[in-house]
Structure 1
Amino acid sequence: MPEHEDKRPLAERIAADIRKKIMSGDWVPGLKVPTNEDLRGLYGTSNVTIQRALQILKDERFLDGQAGVGVFVRGQGSQTIMPAHYIAPAGPGQPYRWLSEATKRQQRSKYRMLKVAEVVPPVEVARALGLEAKSTAMLRSRIGFLDDQPAELVHSYYPVELAQGNRLADRRLIPGGTPALLEELGYPTRSQDDVVSARPATTEEYEALEIPRDVPVLEIFRIVYSDNDKPIEVTMLTKPSHRFKMGYHLEAS
Structure 2
Amino acid sequence: MSTTSEQTTDRRPLHERVAADLRDEILSGAVLPGAVLPTAELQQRFATSSATVEQALDVLREEGLVTRCADTAEAVPDSVVLEHRQRTMRPSRSLAPADPGQPFRWVTEARKRGVRANCALLEVKQVPRPPAHVARALGLDAAAPVLLRSQILTFDDEPAGLVKAYFPLDIVRGTAMTEHRKVRGGTSTLLARLGYPPLRCVDSVSARIPTQEQHALLKLPPNVPVLRTFRVVYSDHDRPVEVHDTVESGHLYELQYEFTQAL
TM-score, normalised via structure 1 length? 0.95
Q: Which runs of 5+ in 2 are unaligned?
A: 73-77
Query: Which residue of the partner structure matches residue 194 of structure 1?
Result: 203
1:142 aligned counterpart, secondary structure: strand
Count of aligned positions: 252
1:31 aligns to 2:35 (yes or no): yes
1:59 aligns to 2:62 (yes or no): yes
Query: Which residue of the partner structure matches residue 24 of structure 2?
Result: 20
1:226 aligns to 2:248 (yes or no): no
In structure 2, distance between residues paired with 1:235 and 1:114 = 15
Query: Which residue of the partner structure matches residue 89 of structure 1?
Result: 97
**After the TM superposition, which residues 149-228 of structure 1 pair with which residues of structure 2 at under 5 Å, given as runs?**
149-228=158-237
Q: By how many angstroms is 1:146 displaced? A: 1.2
CA contact (8 A) 1:29 1:77 kept: no
In structure 2, distance between residues paired with 1:46 and 1:54 = 13
In structure 2, distance between residues paired with 1:249 and 1:101 = 15
- Identity value in percent: 40
1:73 aligns to 2:77 (yes or no): no
1:12 aligned counterpart, secondary structure: helix
Q: By how many angstroms is 1:75 displaced? A: 2.4
Letter of the structure 1 residue corresponding to residue 9 of structure 2: E
Aligned counterpart in structure 2 of residue 100 of structure 1, from 77, 101, 108 = 108
1:252 aligns to 2:261 (yes or no): yes
In structure 2, distance between residues paired with 1:133 and 1:246 = 31
Letter of the structure 2 residue corresponding to residue 208 of structure 1: L
The Cα RMSD (Å) is 1.7
- Deviation digits for residues 174-215 of structure 1, max 9, x if unmatched? 110001110010000110000001111111110111111121
- Deviation digits for residues 133-165 of structure 1, max 9, x if unmatched? 222100000001111101110000000011111
Q: Which moved more, 1:187-196 or 1:237-246?
A: 237-246
In structure 2, distance between residues paired with 1:80 and 1:68 = 34
Letter of the structure 2 residue corresponding to residue 52 of structure 1: Q
CA contact (8 A) 2:85 2:251 kept: no
CA contact (8 A) 2:39 2:79 kept: no
Aligned counterpart in structure 2 of residue 237 of structure 1, from 246, 251, 254 = 246
2:96 aligned counterpart, secondary structure: coil
Q: By how many angstroms is 1:66 displaced? A: 3.6
Query: Which residue of the partner structure matches residue 157 of structure 2?
Result: 148
